């Protein structure tokens, strides 16, 4: 049985988001909000399924291209290759993924709500009645 998470779209407010990279200490980079224009560009180039994979971090190439497209100032990264070379650590990858999610409108409060739903569903799953097998436990 597939578990369903409830996400109220009115809670998702696309907005600018910022991230830092270890290769550029002290500098913040800005992503523009995930507007309809960005969504249409991304879906036309990659398709909805591929974009979902990028947002969840399971398609890093698409994620990087989307982040590059949404960069407000490309002075430090005139090409996608420049951005890719600047993402060095796993923390850098986490930072760009988090910034992308925030730009879509998955803010920290929204993400915390999702985590609570997952935890509640996991708890419910663990409290399910156990099937009787006839075995006797000696512990």
| Bridging pattern class, strands 28-31 and 17-20 | antiparallel
Residue 7 has pLDDT above 50, yes or no: yes
Contact of 77 with 68, CB cutoff 8 Å: yes
CA 32 – CA 35 distance, rounded (Å)? 8
The string of pLDDT tens digits covering residues 66-124 is 999 999 999 999 999 999 999 999 999 999 988 998 998 876 676 677 667 777 777 77
- Give the mean pLDDT of 12-27: 94
Residue 38 CA to residue 6 CA, distance in Å, equals 24
Which band of pLDDT confidence, cut at 50, 70 and 90, is reported for residue 27? Answer: very high
Query: What stretches of the chain adopt beta strand conformation (E)?
Result: 17-20, 28-31
Residue boundaries of the structural domains of the chain:
13-121
**pTM (2 d.p.):** 0.72
């Amino acid at each position: 049985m597939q578990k369903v998470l409830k996400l109220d779209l009115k809670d998702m407010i696309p907005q600018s988001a910022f991230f830092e990279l270890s290769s550029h200490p002290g500098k913040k980079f800005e992503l523009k909000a995930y507007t309809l224009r960005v969504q249409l560009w991304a879906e036309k180039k990659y398709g909805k399924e591929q974009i979902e994979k990028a947002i969840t971090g399971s398609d890093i190439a698409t994620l990087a291209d989307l982040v590059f497209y949404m960069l407000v100032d490309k002075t430090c990264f005139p090409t996608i290759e420049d951005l890719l070379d600047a993402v060095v650590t796993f923390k850098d990858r986490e930072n760009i993924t988090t910034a992308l999610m925030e730009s879509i409108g998955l803010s920290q409060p929204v993400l915390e709500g999702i985590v609570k739903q997952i935890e509640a569903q996991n708890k419910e799953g663990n409290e399910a009645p156990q099937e009787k097998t006839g075995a006797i436990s000696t512990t």
